[in-house]
Structure 1
Amino acid sequence: MAKLKIRKGDHVVVISGKDKGKKGEVLKVMPGENRVIVSGVAVVRRHQRQTATQEGGIISKEGPIHVSNVALEDPKDGSPTRVGYKFLKDGRKVRFAKRSGEIIDV
């Protein structure tokens, strides 16, 4: 299982596919499948049968997209960036945007 540089709660930009250019927040990360679910991206419509707890009808929800199709959003200007790691003076290992050098983890 590969270690992903994108985590839940990150703001990402879709860099390829039908939703190219869209931005959103990562809702779920599936490292075993190398996929992420991003809010407002890859929306699919599903026919839902009515149950005791849920109403039936056609519902829209986000589908998973491959992690290679998203890039982290640079905190400085909002453009796609690669991710690097570095150690701070206090010994913490943090992620940073390679484009601007801004620290992503707070």
Structure 2
Amino acid sequence: MSGLKIKKDDLVQVIAGKDKGKQGKVLRALPSENKVVVEGINIAKKAVRPTQQNPQGSISSVEAPLHVSNVALIDPSTKKPTRVGYRVKDDGTKVRVARPSGKDLD
């Protein structure tokens, strides 16, 4: 089961870990690993090998994936973290719903 309730370009808040309380936009969703990459969160240092174009080499900062259980979607109406549910509309389309307010997220 790899259906994520969080998608690319969603605004999320980190609810556990070293970046707890920070908010950011989801850059990538990795459903097969149940992880998301969030802009400016979980920064890791990565060594870059020297090449012809960059003979010096360097150490760059990249966003590492976070487990999806450590982030919560921000409800656009209340601006607070919320749980996500689903509801099927009358025309048969499935939409994400904010649990506390019941408002559509899509």
With the length of structure 1 as denominator, give the TM-score of the two structures. Answer: 0.88
- Cα–Cα, structure 1 residues 51 and 16, in superposed 2: closer, same or farther, change >3 Å? same
Q: Identify unmatched segments of 5+ residues in structure 1.
A: none
Name which of structure 1's ranges 83-92 and 5-14 shifts more when overlaid on structure 2: 83-92
Give the C-alpha shift of residue 35 in structure 1: 1.1
- Counterpart in the other structure of 2:78: 77
Any unmatched runs of 5+ in structure 2? none
Q: Which residue of 2 aligns with 1:57?
A: 58
Q: TM-score, normalization: structure 2?
A: 0.88
Residue of structure 1 equivalent to 2:104: 103
CA root-mean-square deviation = 1.7
* TM superposition outliers: structure 1 runs of 4+ over 6 Å: none
Tell me which amino acid in the other structure corresponds to 2:69: S
Taking the aligned partners of 1:16 and 1:95, their CA distance within structure 2 comes to 23
State, as a whole percentage, how many aligned pairs show the same letter.
52
Match of 2:10 in 1: 10
